[in-house]
Structure 1
Amino acid sequence: MSLSAARPPGGSPMTPGDPVSAIETPALVIDLDAMQRNLARMAEFARHHGMKLRPHAKMHKSATIAKMQMDAGAVGVCVQKLSEAEALAAGGVSDVYISNEVIHPDKLRRVAALAGRVTLSIAVDSTLGVERLAQALAQAGTSVDVFVEVDAGQGRCGVAPAAAGALAQQVVSHGLRFAGLQAYHGKAQHLRSALEREAAIRHAVTAARTAQAAVTASGIDCPLVTGAGTGTFVFEAASGVYGELQAGSYLFMDRDYADNQPSPGAPVFEHALFIKSEVISRGAAHAVVDAGHKSHAIDSGLPRVWLQDLEFANGGDEHGILRPRGDALPALGDSVWLVPGHCDPTVNLHDRYVVVSGGLQGGSVHAVWPVDARGCVA
């Protein structure tokens, strides 16, 4: 997509080489240099530890970025929704794992159709899901890899570990390929101390081992356990149980993940996703920027002001309020860079990324990339 085609109606034209100052606000901006360093560090970690890497593309929703991750060594990407898988496949992503359950027959017919175009995997946690998936695939004449999801401590989807063998038998008896176990502990990702996260993953590893034993006791080989996130992947990699890492947010590093105490042995990841905002109003003791709830998600808290000691306060849908802490308030028209609290839903608020190389201060526009799977929640 060209830069001119990608800009919003009425927006100023942007071409490669334009200065960062030309980016209209509010804008979702990638620091390309930082993102590429993050990408390389995680890829090297996975290689060094003999792990497959299948990063979660639900975070960035971009076919361009997914293909960059695969070019760097990832075996494919994960998504949570069928429509995300379809959007990334349309953008040329060749290997996608839907690490979530799909139950509706119409959606499963779409799963079966998509399996005819890309290498596709999917998670199941019920006999009904297995039966309907098998029926849809048989009608389409396609196949997928099937992972049995185990509740590893999240308390969300997944069977009890001891029940994994029985469900794996259901997968095999319906003529489907059993590919292993999905064991992701989402609640562990944002426990602030490394010791807390390590303890939570010990529980997940125990659950995964129990599930593995149940599968092998049923006479079925369990080739892979997949899971892990940006907050815990060091511990899954060290477990001897997990063979594949699904971390996604490492690529952008939102404010919430940065608030975690670092895990021993983890690569250092940099902030690479920002909201560029502009000061549009100024009071005696506060300034107002043009980036509110519609520009950044607040489910994990408010954004952090980047490289300025200012407090960001909730200003509503279209505004953010800045108050001084250590630094003076910015002037009218000044740019203020924000690190979102949670990258995934922030990305889903935007149609495009403005990609900057050379840094946020003195850099220039490198490209504009569409958020291909924006709004793909079904």
Structure 2
Amino acid sequence: MIDVGASVQAIDTPALVVDLDAMERNIARMAAFAAAHGVHWRPHAKMHKSAALALQMMAAGAVGVCVQKTAEAEAMLAGGVGNIYISNEVVSLSKLQRVAQMAAALKAKNTSDRLAIAVDSAEGVQRLAEAIGRVAGDTRDVIDVFVEIDVGQGRCGVAPGPAAVALARQVAQHPQLRFKGLQAYHGGAQHRRRHAERQQAIAEVLRQVQATRALIEAAGLKVELVTGAGTGTMALEAASGVYGELQSGSFLFMDADYAANEADPARPAFEHALFVKTQVVSTSAAHAVCDAGHKSHAIDSGLPRVFRPDGGPALAYFNGGDEHGILRTAEPGQPLPALGDVLWLIPGHCDPTVNLHDHMVGVRGGLSAGRVERLLRVDARGALT
């Protein structure tokens, strides 16, 4: 493990490195954006999986975190994060027992700290209520509950409209559960390359959310909050007047896939802040080989981009397997890197890349001449249950 204070050159490869200066500029831009639009921001901790980073963003104005797994919630809670939303369905009885224990513990603190969860089925609501009842008895409002509606992702969520109304009513029948509002997230829209395509998708989302909210409120239930949005579409949801909370998480690090989107001028320009440091370990006439393969970065959203902070010919990264990356020049006739040269990779998808590492190395002062300032533990690595 690298020591705090060491030069960036001393970081062994492959390693996951955070440019702290770029990351903190991203946080400041996100905080200013949310404040300017009068919305909360609750960034997804499933992206960075670090309680320390969650707390840093909360100190900057975030209201809490989203997670997707019960175990991620437990890791955040153990790290001192007290306002957690499991923006996913949980139906396993053993997991619901853990959810209930966390919710009851936060409720007992008698503070603003809360646990929230999403539901999309009558059976899921019933199981949740029974689990909370077994742990908390007749205590009221132990956990906040969002009804998730499928607004185009084609994954989880009840159909917008009457089905969502029925589910909200069921939630409200259980005194231990507090109906909070709607979860409306369109993940697929985040990665549509053209801004106009994202606009079109979110316009339809807004139509469905507004219609569903009107029906629920006509039934006598208050929709206190509509939550959702991601880094790719957050400016659209923020400007809508419909969403009160943004779940954008990737803005913190910005991966290569998000960078491939056509820019939205209404959204802040976020910088790349997450890199895999790698070294050239073999060369030939046609290519070079680095020591960062699939075990150091995820490839579900494409291969990483090569970043050269000190300049040099553009390089393209090709699949080299578990332990290696193949590097070729982007333009014919350009020189390849030499044996021992250090390169930096921008991962295609930050979330699963972070999950491959025990620690992230936080560097202050840039990738060329910076020094190690923090070692960030990936608290929720492997938190899959």
After TM superposition, the score normalised by the length of structure 2 is 0.94
- Whichever residue aligns with residue 316 of structure 1, its letter is G
Which of 308, 311, 314 is the equivalent residue of 2:316? 311
Aligned positions of 1:93-108 closer than 5 A: 93-108=81-96
Matching residue of 2:348: 341
Matching residue of 1:40: 28
- Whichever residue aligns with residue 83 of structure 1, its letter is A
Q: How many residues align?
A: 366
Which of 312, 327, 330 is the equivalent residue of 1:325? 330
Residues 1:210 and 1:280: Cα distance change in structure 2 (over 3 Å): same
Aligned positions of 1:86-235 closer than 5 A: 86-118=74-106, 119-141=114-136, 143-162=142-161, 163-175=163-175, 176-235=177-236
Structure 2, unaligned runs of 5 or more: 107-113
Aligned positions of 1:73-84 closer than 5 A: 73-84=61-72
CA distance in 2, matches of 1:104, 1:207: 29
CA distance in 1, matches of 2:186, 2:381: 25
After TM superposition, the score normalised by the length of structure 1 is 0.95
- Point out 4+ residue stretches in structure 1 off by more than 4 angstroms: none
Q: Is this contact kept in 2: 1:305–1:336, CA < 8 A? A: yes
CA distance in 2, matches of 1:213, 1:261: 33
Matching residue of 1:66: 54
Q: Is this contact kept in 2: 1:130–1:174, CA < 8 A? A: no
CA distance in 2, matches of 1:296, 1:93: 27
- Aligned-residue RMSD, C-alpha: 0.9
- Whichever residue aligns with residue 98 of structure 1, its letter is I
Matching residue of 2:372: 365
Offset at residue 264 of structure 1 (A) = 2.2
CA distance in 2, matches of 1:270, 1:129: 39
Matching residue of 1:270: 271
Offset at residue 240 of structure 1 (A) = 1.1
How far does the alpha carbon of each residue in 1:295-328 deviate from its partner, in whole angstroms, 9 at most, with x for none?
1000000000013510100000000000012452
Which of 353, 357, 363 is the equivalent residue of 1:356? 363
CA distance in 2, matches of 1:197, 1:218: 32
SS at match of 2:366: coil
CA distance in 1, matches of 2:335, 2:234: 39
SS at match of 1:166: helix
- Percent identity, aligned pairs only, is 62
Structure 1, unaligned runs of 5 or more: 1-6, 8-13
Matching residue of 2:243: 242
